[in-house]
Structure 1
């Protein structure tokens, strides 16, 4: 019974899950962009860009829902919970940017897995294109965060070599 392909969700359930995932990601990236802006403007811009991409994808999901007559399934961003878990609330301004980006990557990986599961278990042909775009969007999100971490790591290594 662990075969995910045998599980299916109703289209409205898929849309609700996908939209909640995007709203949470949008809020997370906006908060991280704001938190990182003073000390790490480059990483802040990346977070803001990722948030914008989430907002754009949320619009796409809403359009797909409306085409199916399920527009009510997509919550507006204003209707979504605004509370963030402690995991995503930086503890201080001294948090290393690398740690914050790593936590964002972990959340993005979780989102990517769920997006892929939604695509795998989709039984609604009208949602195929939207869920495929959602899956690709989450893959790109992870790739950008991984590249950001790699660049940050390379900078730290070069500083250590210069200091040594």
Structure 2
């Protein structure tokens, strides 16, 4: 059993994960981390992109403005929870919880403030509680820290769950 090498993979990304995690590669984990990471900046970019697409499709004046959007990242599900991939999926759990922030964005209802968009992270307190109680100081997931550090250099191992930012949407948004 083997996995494909994505054209975007560099030499480090092409390396297999260790032990029973083969045939998956560092690049597969990198993709999961990047595709899971949603901060407020990216959430707002997604909202604006959906608004622009609606306006382009329906016409600027005839399109009803997008009022509300809920963003629920699912990047951590790139590895099926079965067989040999259980170890990868479980090891990525702290990262998926930290990076896969869930958002609700809503347009202001006032006529003179329709341009104002409010962003609110859903379940922030529960996410922080889980990270601090179960994962802070626990090094069992550290095998993925070198991959995390290549995406977000300068991330501190003590506060890695806050030392990151989302990457821009493809296409320069």
Same fold by TM-score greater than 0.5:
no
TM-score (norm 1): 0.28
Higher relative contact order (CA 8 A, sep 6+): 1
Greater strand share, 1 or 2? Answer: 2
TM-score by length of 2: 0.27
Which structure has greater helix proportion? 1
